[in-house]
Amino acid sequence: MPRCEELDPIAAIQGFHPFVDALSRACGRDPDRPPFLNKVTQTR
């Protein structure tokens, strides 16, 4: 199967995500609840 250079970034992200997840957890952070990120938009 020939390589498709357009898909290379997707493959790189798939390999990078587990590393970032493990690094975050090793630093005592919850990657699903980052500080200063509110998933709810405040309205008046």
CB neighbourhood size of 24 (10 A):
14
Phi, psi of 35 (to 5 degrees): -65, 150
Q: Give me the residue label for tokens 């500080």.
A: 35
Taken in order 10, 16, 18, 20, is the CA torsion positive or negative? negative
pLDDT of residue 31: 85
Question: How do the pLDDT tens digits run along the chain, 44 residues long?
Answer: 566 777 788 877 888 888 989 999 999 999 888 888 877 777 87
Query: Which residue type sits at 34?
Result: P
